[in-house]
Amino acid sequence: AIRFGRYIRRKYSVYPKDLWQTLVVTLGSIPGINTHNQPGLTALYGPVAIREIYGATEGIFGQQRDDRRAWVPNYDQFFFEVETRSGAKMLHDMHPGEMGSLVVSTPTLPRYRIGDTILALETPYFRCIGRDKWWTPLKYAWTELATLNFGRL
C-alpha cells in the first residue's frame, strides 16, 4: 500500500487521499503495519482505519478484530503450536511477552513451520514480529523504541 501510494504520487503528482476517500485499509504480509508503517499510510491515504490480517499461502491464520493493533488467531480453522525457548507449546498457552516460531497444522500440512516469529501480547492478541532469524527480536525492539510504541496494543 505504501509503494502503491508513492507510485501514484510520483506518476500523477497526487496523493491517494486526494483521489479516494478510503475508510479502511486491510493489509498483511509485513510486520509493523499498525505501528511503524502507520504514519506513512495515514500520510498517503488520510485518516484511515488500518486493519491487519495474518496469513500465508496455507490460509488466513488470524486478523485484527478491533482497534487494538494485533491479530487474533482463527482457532476454529487451524491448530497452532509455537516453538519457544522452553519447548513446544500451544499458541493459546503463551504468556504476554513470550515469543517463538509458529507451527501451524492444516488438513494438508500437519505441523508446518511457517517461518515467522510470533510475540504474545495480552490474551487473545498476538503480533508477527518478523521471520525466524536471530536478529528479529533485536530489530523489533529497535523499531518499538524508534516509534515509541513499546508493545502497546
Could you tell me which of 89, 115, 121, 86 has the C-alpha nearest to residue 102? Answer: 115
- Please check whether residues 80 and 142 belong to one and the same domain: yes
| Structure confidence by residue, pLDDT tens digits, 31-89 | 777 777 888 999 999 999 989 899 888 889 999 998 888 999 999 999 999 999 999 99
Residue 43 neighbours by CB under 8 Å, 6+ apart: 15
In CATH, what number is assigned to the domain containing residue 101? Answer: 2.30.38
Q: How much is the pTM?
A: 0.81
Specify the 3-state DSSP secondary structure of 148.
Answer: coil
User: What percent of the chain is modeled with pLDDT above 70?
Assistant: 98
Are 61 and 86 a contacting pair, CB within 8 Å? Answer: no
User: What domain range includes position 133?
Assistant: 73-148
How many domains in the chain? Answer: 2
In a domain, 58, yes or no: no
Specify the 3-state DSSP secondary structure of 120.
Answer: strand
DSSP annotation of 24? E
- Please check whether residues 48 and 77 belong to one and the same domain: no
The mean pLDDT of 115-128, rounded to a whole number, is 94
Phi then psi for residue 72, to 5 deg, are: -115, 130
- Please check whether residues 48 and 115 belong to one and the same domain: no
- Please check whether residues 92 and 139 belong to one and the same domain: yes
